[in-house]
Structure 1
Amino acid sequence: MNNVKFDWELDASTAIALQKRLRSHLILELPEDFELKTIAGVDVSFPEPKTGLCVIVVLSAATLEVFELVHHFMKIDFPYISGLLSFREGPIFMKTHAKLKSKPDLYFFDGQGIAHPRGLGLASHMGLLLNKPSIGVAKSHLYGSYEPPGPVKGQWSPLKDYNDNTIGAVLRTRTNKKPVFISPGHLIDVKHSLELTLKYAIKYRIPEPTRLAHIWTQKLKRTIST
């Protein structure tokens, strides 16, 4: 089991130092005994400035049938700071995750994995805490250099850090639409992160697990004012 622990109540400079330390704990390859039966999509929204909402949807990896859906509202005090998203969204994700009865085999996060200035985006941080394979699928670029991929669905280009190491992929999930930025979180590599994202980006720009989670956050956040 993973024994990485820390306090969420940190200031920005301490959080940055912690990210640098945790980065060395990441494993960027699939476990030998990995079996993909269930996948989870995670989405966090802020219906009010200091109120967070997290939704986790668990689906069959084979049929995309929804097995479980949980959500949680919570007060969020950590401010939005670029590169420190996991300290704002992590606490509510972990509270929501505690409500799950199932144990997903793989998690898709709407955010970065190792394509991050300190190599520890939301997907990496949460994957490390859970000790589970995780993938970051972001809609916008945060870190690294790349050439735009071709315009056709399935075309991609490598995302590289400033030492020319490949840290992810820029993938066209729909023809002539903006690409997404994929990077491994934990317990997975770039190749499998790319393949699995493309596999589950069936009709839309983002993969089905996070797409469904996002739909539910949009529905649920309306209830906070009713």
Structure 2
Amino acid sequence: MTPFEMPADETAARAVQDELRGRVVLDEPGPEPGTGLVTGVDVAYDDERDVVAAAAVVLDAATLAVVDEATAVGRVTFPYVPGLLAFREIPTVLAALAALTSPPGLVVCDGYGRAHPRRFGLASHLGVVTGLPAIGVAKNPFLFTYDEPGPRRGDFTPLLADDGEEVGRALRTQEGVKPVFVSVGHRVDLATACAHTLRLAADYRLPESTRRADALCRRALREATT
């Protein structure tokens, strides 16, 4: 695991992104969907108190049963800057991952990987720092454009940057609901990332890993601030 050091300012943070982006592995297919373990990570903030709570929930990829879970609570030590959100979240997310008693397997972030203005969102950053395969599954397309995918579960269209680069996919996980936005983080290809997302989103729009991590980090934040 690469040591994580909080940069002193925005300029230093961008320099860290530039250096770590070169370590992203894009030529591995990643773990086979439906096998091994999958870990959802998410964070919740109390902005008034500068508190952040992170959760990591490990699921059996075949059954979606919870295998392990952990939380961590910390202080927000980096300002909100568009494109640099990972620096606010990663220290506490790493603490939650470190508190697990089982290996994480594939990490699924509630956010972005390549679908990021600097092509280095939370899923990429976390993947490089931990060495784990990671993907991002986001609720909105950020700054990118897409055509509406077909109505059926599994239909998708490219998520495109201004220069035409495909940075992810708009993926329909359930009929009659909005798509999610899948991007590669580290050590997983895009087709495999989408296949994992569909297996994890068996009943709802969002992956079960994200749903459970979201609920757990919100609970941890409430307990830490009351």
- For normalisation by structure 2, the TM-score amounts to 0.92
Partner residue, 1:189: 189
1:40 aligns with 2:39: yes
On the 8 A contact 1:42/1:107 being kept in 2, the answer is yes
On the 8 A contact 1:30/1:133 being kept in 2, the answer is no
1:85 aligns with 2:85: yes
On the 8 A contact 2:114/2:124 being kept in 1, the answer is yes
User: In the aligned structure 2, how far is the partner of 1:133 from the partner of 1:44?
Assistant: 19
Matched to 1:7, the amino acid is: E
- Determine what percentage of the aligned residue pairs are the same residue: 39
Partner residue, 1:7: 5
CA deviations over 1:71-90 (Å, ceiling 9, x no partner): 01111121222111110101
User: In the aligned structure 2, how far is the partner of 1:124 from the partner of 1:112?
Assistant: 8
- The aligned length equals 223
Pairs within 5 Å for 1:26-175:
26-30=24-28, 34=31, 36-49=35-48, 50-175=50-175
Label 1:157 to 1:109 Cα distance change in 2 as closer, same or farther (>3 A).
same
SS of the residue 1:25 aligns to: coil
Give the CA deviation at 1:165: 2.5
User: In the aligned structure 2, how far is the partner of 1:47 from the partner of 1:144?
Assistant: 28
- For normalisation by structure 1, the TM-score amounts to 0.92
- Give the RMSD, CA atoms, in angstroms: 1.8
Matched to 1:14, the amino acid is: A
Give the CA deviation at 1:31: 6.0
Give the CA deviation at 1:6: 4.9
Label 1:74 to 1:6 Cα distance change in 2 as closer, same or farther (>3 A).
closer
SS of the residue 2:22 aligns to: helix
On the 8 A contact 1:167/1:190 being kept in 2, the answer is no
On the 8 A contact 1:47/1:224 being kept in 2, the answer is no
On the 8 A contact 2:58/2:209 being kept in 1, the answer is yes
Match of 2:18 among 8, 13, 20: 20
User: In the aligned structure 1, how far is the partner of 2:37 from the partner of 2:79?
Assistant: 33
Gaps of 5+ in 1: none
SS of the residue 1:150 aligns to: coil
On the 8 A contact 1:127/1:185 being kept in 2, the answer is yes
Give the CA deviation at 1:48: 4.2
CA deviations over 1:49-85 (Å, ceiling 9, x no partner): 3100001001111111111110011111212221111
On the 8 A contact 2:40/2:107 being kept in 1, the answer is yes
User: In the aligned structure 2, how far is the partner of 1:92 from the partner of 1:218?
Assistant: 14
Give the CA deviation at 1:13: 1.8
Give the CA deviation at 1:162: 3.1
Give the CA deviation at 1:9: 3.2
CA deviations over 1:159-211 (Å, ceiling 9, x no partner): 12333232210112222222111101000111111111011111111101111
Give the CA deviation at 1:5: 4.2
